[in-house]
Structure 1
Amino acid sequence: MPLLVLAFGAEALPAAVVVFIVEMLLHFSVGLYMLNPRTSLWRMLRMPIVLASLAGLAVNISGLPLPGWLLEAMHMLGGVCIPLMLFALGVRLLEIDFSDWRTGMLGALLCPLSGLVIALPLMWLLPLNALQAAVLLVFAALPPAVLNYLVAEQYKLAPQKVASLVLIGNLGSLVVMPLTLAAAFTWVYAPL
């Protein structure tokens, strides 16, 4: 979200939040089902990110104002989450022997490519304005999330391979993201 706000300004934040919520709900429903088809719907609904997303949507739709102290506390907790995930990944990276570099390279290519293959048709099928389409395009090209490593660690599904995929995928984003932003500004979103 900070990248989208930096690129397109604060007016991109609502679209970025919606795309993020959809991605998180898919990650913790369809994604968990893919990892373990026996995962119960009840377990998926109890995930903190799902509960937080549903609570946030309910508060937003209801128009219920939240007290400032609660907003500040949530902002502080949210601000600590990404560094903690990066720390957990960093600990795992100390153990990487880079024998899985091929998996990482494949992820660095396929992650943004698969995201763009899905996003491009959606950009024309959904009634999106130029800013929303640009947000979707950039979000689709993002590298593999650190969150994938944490899920792989929790389910004991090749966390070292996933750590390699996340590391090399994020290094690959140093090439992919400038190209995607250039495409977004050239063909999708051309501010006056």
Structure 2
Amino acid sequence: MLLRIAGVIVPVFFIVAVGYAYGRRVRPDLGTFNRIVLDVMAPMLVYTGLANKDFHLAEHQGLIVAGALVVLLSGLAAWALARTAGAQPRTLVPVVMFNNSGNMGLPLAMLAFGPSQFGAAVALFSVSSLFHFSLGARITSAHATTRELLLSPLMVSSALGFASAFSGVRPPEILMTGMRMLGEPMLPLMLLALGVRLTALRRSDVSPGLLGAFARPLIGLGLALPLAWWLDLAPDARAQLMLFAALPPAVMQFLLAERYRQEPQRVAAMILLGNALAVVFVPLALVLALQRQ
């Protein structure tokens, strides 16, 4: 069990460590890179994962429902926590609702469960993205326009991916190959960028950032365990849900907080600390996920 968990964790954190070392030395500007990832690579990865002929939507209905409930119920719990702790709900709630199911969750799922289960991880990422760039953006800022949210590349690719999975209609394989080649490099590149982002962590950010950093995986796991039992998920789906629920806050939430000027420094601290704490919570989730595999 320990060797299997190490085989999942070590490659991911090795890439993050390389990004951290590179960021300390070079201090790269990630603005253009982030836009390319959000507008091109992530949509391609989402679409090809959902439209893959080996991905059958009906087989993952229970998991998709469970993932959606984890996201929505996490938001309600975070709103209550924000009111209790005196934090800004528009700052804390999206951090707790939305996790790093893309740049950390997808490579972890690939390593932990193999290519045959990758479509399930993409489905969870797509559900989270649909909520993130609609409801999440609306929570972060009341000024986000509906047109802007609905026409974002990730929203469009997710909708088209689910349509292809449902109907079986997809582009010719020669085009799908090119689309996969555009999407798959996102995984190591986003881990590298995550390491670069960790260089921005300051001591003064630690205290306010710990609330969101701990709340995200603790609330997620606290919801996923009873939901997996209540929905009677199969072992493979239960394992995917445990990993999804324990992931740290989404890096993309910082982009939204910065765009809408919703305490971006505090959001950055929560995200950076949360991703650092993943070294504790991800192994815990994998123990829960793999113990019956």
Q: TM-score range by the shorter chain?
A: 0.7 to 0.9
Shift of residue 27, structure 1, vs aligned partner: 1.0
Which of 135, 146, 150 in structure 2 is aligned with 1:41? Answer: 146
Shift of residue 15, structure 1, vs aligned partner: 1.9
Secondary structure of 1:163's match? helix
Please give the per-residue CA displacement for 1:82-123, whole angstroms capped at 9, x wherever unaligned: 526854883x65555431111332222111012112222321
Which 5+ residue runs of structure 2 have no aligned equivalent?
Answer: 1-105
- Closer, same or farther: CA 179–93 of 1 in aligned 2, 3 Å: closer
Say if 2:207 is the partner of 1:102. yes
Structure with the larger RCO, 1 or 2 (CA within 8 Å, 6+ apart): 2
Shift of residue 53, structure 1, vs aligned partner: 0.2
Which of 228, 247, 254 in structure 2 is aligned with 1:149? Answer: 254
Deviates more, 1:160-169 or 1:96-105: 96-105
CA distance in 1, matches of 2:170, 2:152: 24
Which residue matches 1:29?
A: 134
Which residue matches 2:240?
A: 135
Which of 109, 114, 124 in structure 2 is aligned with 1:4? Answer: 109
Say if 2:157 is the partner of 1:52. yes
Which residue matches 2:272?
A: 167
Which residue matches 2:9?
A: none
Which residue matches 1:76?
A: 181
Which 5+ residue runs of structure 1 have no aligned equivalent?
Answer: none
Matched residue count = 187
Shift of residue 146, structure 1, vs aligned partner: 1.2
CA RMSD of aligned residues (A): 2.3
Shift of residue 181, structure 1, vs aligned partner: 0.6
Q: Which amino acid aligns with 1:5?
A: M
Deviates more, 1:128-137 or 1:67-76: 67-76
CA distance in 1, matches of 2:172, 2:247: 34
- Closer, same or farther: CA 123–73 of 1 in aligned 2, 3 Å: same
CA distance in 2, matches of 1:124, 1:84: 33
CA distance in 2, matches of 1:80, 1:11: 19
